[in-house]
Amino acid sequence: MRKGKKDKYYFIKHRGTNFAEKAKPLPDDPDSIEFLSKWREYMGLDEVFDLSFSGLIVKFQASQLWNSYEPSHKKFYKTYLNRINDMWGKLEVSAVRPLHILDAQE
């Protein structure tokens, strides 16, 4: 809120250049998934990231880093990735606090 008015967010591709496009409205909450999705749409990015533990595990296992691991390392990591997925799979990573980590360790 500024001067009693709610902030409005807009996306302007190539802002500040001769190629600047018209402003496109964005959702009101910049911390929401809708805001991120709309911004990515305007940027022309097709992939929407799943920021849950399950989504990040899937992304990690599709990465070049994962592919560089030896089969024995992959087997070792899968054990713990499966445990994490079972416990917190649907949770967004940003929702986990140190207390949750300490709980899991016990």
pLDDT tens figures, 33-73: 888 888 888 887 766 677 889 989 998 999 899 999 999 99
pLDDT of residue 9: 87
Specify whether 34 is located in the same domain as 58. Answer: no
How far apart are the C-alpha atoms of 79 and 57, rounded to whole Å? 12
Domain membership of residue 48 (yes or no) is no
Domain containing 23 equals 9-43
d(CA 89, CA 77): 16
d(CA 15, CA 17): 6
28 and 69 inside one domain: no
Q: Are 38 and 61 in the same domain?
A: no
Q: For residue 75, what pLDDT band results from cuts at 50, 70 and 90?
A: very high
Task: Say which residues have a Cβ less than 8 Å from residue 43's Cβ, sequence separation at least 6.
Answer: 13
The whole-angstrom separation of Cα 17 and Cα 19 is 5
Give all strands (DSSP E) within 1-92, no chain letters. 9-11, 24-26
| 57 and 98 part of one domain | yes
Q: Are residues 63 and 97 in the same domain?
A: yes
- Do the domain assignments include residue 4? no
